[in-house]
Structure 1
Amino acid sequence: MNDADILVIEDDKTIQNFIRITLKTKGYRCDLADDGLTGISCFYANNPDLILLDLGLPDLDGMEVLDQIRQESDVPVIVVSARGMEQEKVGALDAGADDYITKPFNAGELLARIRVALRHRSSAPKQEPVFQLDTFKMDFEKRKVFVRGGEVHLTPIEYKMLTLLVNNSGKVLTHHFIQQEVWGYDTTDDYQSLRVFMANIRRKIEEDSTKPRFILTEVGVGYRFVES
């Protein structure tokens, strides 16, 4: 049986009840919130292990809730939404969601996504509070990145990707591995979006992104953060 605490922020009572029963049958502890403000209060009060978040809430847009959570925590957030457009999914993932499930969904899919998200969190390597190499500095406790003394502003996905590279400095990470770790799954051999994110990170942390000092490309394989 599982003992994780899961916060469900969902205003549709039918779906909320379905999720609650699904979670309880597998031993998960479950807190319910009918709107965004209640969800944020529960997040602060209960420190959940994972959050299931609907985007279409009655008071706040779910993206606002996600943004506030991400300012405070890297707790896994799975968006559960009727918004199925590709740009909605990309926007939520880029804003810091760990996964995105489109309604309607079945219990098996939901539980599988939850297991993946919790497994990634529990297997995350222990890290020193600060990583520094030459002009690059990453403060994990404050979730901040500095280059040449100035703070660099990264999107949640960019920060997650950079953290993965830094924690594995010196190792070659394949495209498949990075996508699996950052988004929780890998359903395509087209890694164009991954290359776009990586190019954005390089533009922000490299002195010359055409001659990278920190993030090196292993052609046809993936990327490697230089060993300290």
Structure 2
Amino acid sequence: MSGGRILIVDDELYIRRLLTATLVRAGYQVEEAGTAAQALAVAAQSRPELVLLDLGLPDRDGLELVQPLKRDGKTAVVVVSAREGTDDKVAALDLGADDYVTKPFDTEELLARVRAALRHKLGERGSAAVVVAGMLAIDLVNREVRRGEQEVHLTRKEYEVLATLAAAPDRVVTHQTILAAAWPHDYDHRVEYLRIVVRQLRQKIEPDPARPTVITNELGVGYRLRTGS
């Protein structure tokens, strides 16, 4: 997926240069901004398909930019930040960020996250009815799950959790987002409930439940459905 427009927002020049060189080699069109004000101005003019957003900007906290940058629903936002705290990750994702990468980062992994975020945006526009993750096929229209040729029988909670992850393939979905989808009428959204259901799900859909590769943990933050594409 090359040729897309990407805006890099980071106050450190060497990070912008590193990211620009990496993305240009991968075939993307790149613009840069060193402040929040510049980022909003450039984004309004060029309408990037994806923004790589640092949180430690000199004029505003980067978290304040997530929603303005995504206002038209056509721009993906991947946070690239040195902040490793769970609270910052959860806040960014709950505000609508498509992914969160911590510095220092591996450039190949970052490119994979960029491709996944752009794929998801295209999927939102075309609304894929079936999400494929390895041998698993999740039919979100007919509420059916198959592993190879065999149908997988899930409980209602198991399906709701899996469907919530499948609606955002390859992206981190926070614990609270999944809980709100699967337990909408429960005020006591305890993560322990979710962990039990994920454990049951893995027994049914993972090639090796002890080493999960389909539903993976983002420690302290949430889960990710890996499509492998």
Q: What is the TM-score when the length of structure 2 is the normalising length? A: 0.63
Q: 1:194 to 1:65 in 2, by over 3 A?
A: closer
| 2:154 is the alignment partner of 1:171 | no
For residues 120-163 of structure 1, the C-alpha deviation after alignment (integer angstroms, 9 at most, x for no partner) is 11222547xxxxxxxxxxxxxxxxxxxxxxxxxxxxxxxxxxxx
Output the CA distance in 2 between the equivalents of 1:185 and 1:70. Answer: 16
- Give yes or no for contact 1:99–1:113 (8 Å, CA) kept in 2: yes
Instruction: Please report how far the alpha carbon of residue 98 of structure 1 lies from its aligned counterpart in structure 2 after TM superposition.
Output: 0.5
* Partner residue, 1:206: none
Instruction: Please report how far the alpha carbon of residue 185 of structure 1 lies from its aligned counterpart in structure 2 after TM superposition.
Output: 3.9
| 2:165 is the alignment partner of 1:182 | no
1:83-102 alignment to 2 at 5 Å? Answer: 83-102=83-102
Output the CA distance in 1 between the equivalents of 2:56 and 2:47. Answer: 23
* Partner residue, 1:114: 114
1:126-205 alignment to 2 at 5 Å? Answer: 126=126, 168=140, 171=143, 175-182=161-168, 184-185=170-171, 193-198=176-181, 202-203=184-185
Identity %: 34
Pairwise CA RMSD: 3.0
* Partner residue, 2:26: 26
Task: Tell me the secondary structure at the aligned position of residue 79 of structure 1.
Answer: strand
Q: 1:62 to 1:90 in 2, by over 3 A?
A: same
* Partner residue, 1:224: none
- The residue identity in structure 1 corresponding to 2:81 is S
Output the CA distance in 1 between the equivalents of 2:62 and 2:77. Answer: 11
For residues 96-122 of structure 1, the C-alpha deviation after alignment (integer angstroms, 9 at most, x for no partner) is 100000000011111010011111112
Instruction: Please report how far the alpha carbon of residue 73 of structure 1 lies from its aligned counterpart in structure 2 after TM superposition.
Output: 2.9
Q: Which runs of 5+ in 1 are unaligned?
A: 128-167, 204-208, 211-218, 222-228
* Partner residue, 2:220: none
* Partner residue, 2:50: 50
Task: Tell me the secondary structure at the aligned position of residue 31 of structure 1.
Answer: strand
Q: What is the TM-score when the length of structure 1 is the normalising length? A: 0.63
Task: Tell me the secondary structure at the aligned position of residue 14 of structure 1.
Answer: helix
For residues 11-53 of structure 1, the C-alpha deviation after alignment (integer angstroms, 9 at most, x for no partner) is 1111111100000111100010010011011111011111100
- Number of residue pairs matched? 166
Output the CA distance in 2 between the equivalents of 1:70 and 1:23. Answer: 21
Q: Which runs of 5+ in 2 are unaligned?
A: 128-139, 145-158, 188-196, 202-229
Q: 1:184 to 1:46 in 2, by over 3 A?
A: same
